[in-house]
């Protein structure tokens, strides 16, 4: 089981064409040995004492995206 951490940032401003960002939290993506997402854990600075967790649907086949197309997965 592997875990990947992704930073959450919020845009706080823009000046002379440059964007300014503040880190506001982190998302931990937990996967099984096959690389399938098993859960997401979110920690956010607006909710410092709250751990938010999400689990994917059990009977779900993830969609494959090509380019910028949006597609939905199909239930089994």
43 and 53 Cβ atoms separated by less than 8 Å: no
Tell me what pLDDT residue 22 has.
92
Q: Which CA distances in Å does 16 have to 10, 12, 20, 35, 67?
A: 18, 14, 11, 42, 31
pTM strictly above 0.85:
no
Tell me what pLDDT residue 11 has.
92
Per-residue pLDDT of the chain (76 residues; tens, 9 = 90+): 788 999 999 999 999 999 999 999 999 998 888 888 888 888 888 888 887 887 776 665 666 656 555 555 554 4
Tell me what pLDDT residue 70 has.
52
């Amino acid at each position: 089981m592997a875990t990947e951490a992704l930073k959450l940032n919020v845009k706080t401003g823009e000046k002379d064409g440059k964007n300014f960002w503040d880190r506001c939290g982190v998302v931990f993506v937990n996967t099984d040995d096959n690389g399938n997402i098993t859960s997401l854990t979110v920690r956010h600075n607006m909710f410092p004492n709250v751990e938010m967790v999400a689990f994917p649907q059990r009977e779900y086949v993830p969609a494959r995206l090509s380019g910028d197309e949006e597609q939905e997965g199909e239930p089994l």
